[in-house]
Amino acid sequence: MRILHTSDWHVGKVLKGKNRNEEHIKVLAQVVEIARAERPDLVIVAGDLYDTAAPTAEATRLVTRALSALRKTGARVVAIGGNHDNGAALDALRPWADAAGIELRGSYPKGDLNDLLIEGTTEGGERWRLVALPFLSQRYAIRAAEMYELTAAEANQTYADLVARLIAKLSEPFSEPGAVNLLTAHLTIVGASTGGGEREAHTIMGYAVPATVFPANAHYVALGHLHRNQTVISPCPTRYCGSPLAVDFGEEENVCSVAIVDVSTDKAAHVRDVPVTSALTLRTVRGTLEQLATVNLPDAWLRVLVREAPRPGLREDVQELLPNALEVRIDPDMLPSRDGARSAERAGRSPRELFGDYLDSRGNAEEGVRELFDALYDEVSSNK
């Protein structure tokens, strides 16, 4: 059977105030085109369909249309909730999804966990079963009282043990021969490369689990959450497919793609990455205004580190040269060092003197700035 593995769409993402909806439309359209060309039997979307737990109507429309388009290629479609998604809200869409032939698993059921085991048969007669694990919050997995009583290391180990027991229970049918055993989850594996773009609160070791939680008799594990495509050393073939677009400047070196997996009961999973190129790339450039004037990157969003002394209007000058500059900052190498000795030297100096020191350290010679500070300081002081 053939699988298209994608994850971390982050629809609704705003980058430095820039709405990326048009890019997401193109990216997901390309993912659908890849599905039409590759003709997978199964599409797995391994979490973080949205960038926020409260997506806009526009974002919801785009995600549901993309899932429907993937289903119309003839593939079964399974999507799980990630840490950015609202699991309950995804579950509320299940009547629509069921009618459209799409399997949505936003959160963990309060009743029968077997709802997380999905089975099917390809047109070629290959049977498959898939354990679909939405993101599991540590707070949800471990009761508040237990977390209070446990040390950080004990809480981390308890979380990893719970995930391992959950996977072991749900994958019990894997021992029965004659089907391709699959698992998808949205989580962090110890030792994997984060690749930027994930919220730090959910990629710290407290949420990481060892790859040994996966059963050796799984034919393929499709992971979401980390945005860099990579293979994980594990008892079974395990892979992060990465995000189909770079969601922030920490990901500018990532290669955006989806994974195409060919696997059968008697053949090891063969994985190849298909690039997704529809979104603008993200790039960091640095230099003086003269150097920045030579930059020619019209198809990229830019983070600009300026090697100039700070002054009013500098940002506007940079954005006039580079209209795609979303973030403009002074290059950290240009900023003065701050140490304790310098702070001690300033002790006892007046606010006027300290402000004058600050302007001198930044090379600011703008006329009237010191006089304006004096006037404001006198006004504030007289009102005390």
Condensed to tens digits (0 to 9), the pLDDT of residues 312-336 reads: 899 999 999 999 999 999 988 776 6
The residue type found at 372 is: L
Which of 180-184, 196-200, 284-288 has the largest mean confidence? 180-184
* Mean pLDDT computed over 213-234: 95
DSSP state, residue 280: P
pLDDT for position 130: 98
State the greatest distance between any 2 C-alpha atoms of the chain, in Å, as a whole number. 86
Neighbours of 181 (CB within 10 A): 23
Cα torsion 65, 70, 75, 77: sign: negative
What length does the chain have?
A: 384
At 377, the pLDDT band (50, 70, 90 cuts) reads: confident
Please give the Cα distance from 148 to 155 (Å, whole number). 9
Q: Greater confidence, 16 or 139? A: 16
| Least confident range of 16-25, 41-50, 271-280, 349-358 | 349-358
pTM of the model: 0.83
The SS3 assignment for 358 reads: helix
Please give the Cα distance from 280 to 326 (Å, whole number). 13
Contact 232, 214 (CB under 8 A): no
Q: Which residues contact 230 (CB under 8 A, 6 or more apart)?
A: 192, 193, 195, 239, 240, 242
The residue type found at 131 is: V
Neighbours of 378 (CB within 10 A): 11
Q: Greater confidence, 65 or 152? A: 65
Give the HSE-up count for residue 58: Cα atoms under 13 Å, Cβ half-sphere: 10
Residue in the structure block whose two tokens are 């830019």 = 302
Structure tokens at 122: 């390809």
| Least confident range of 256-270, 277-291, 301-315, 335-349 | 335-349
Residue 263 phi, psi (nearest 5): -150, 150
Residue in the structure block whose two tokens are 């290629």 = 73
pLDDT tens digits along 192-220: 887 765 555 455 445 789 999 999 999 99
The SS3 assignment for 316 reads: helix
Strand runs (DSSP E) across the chain, as ranges?
Answer: 2-6, 14-15, 18-19, 42-45, 76-80, 102-105, 117-121, 127-133, 180-186, 188-189, 208-209, 220-224, 230-232, 238-240, 257-264, 267-275, 281-287, 300-306, 325-330
* Mean pLDDT computed over 353-365: 71
Among 312, 289, 307, residue whose Cα is nearest residue 365: 312
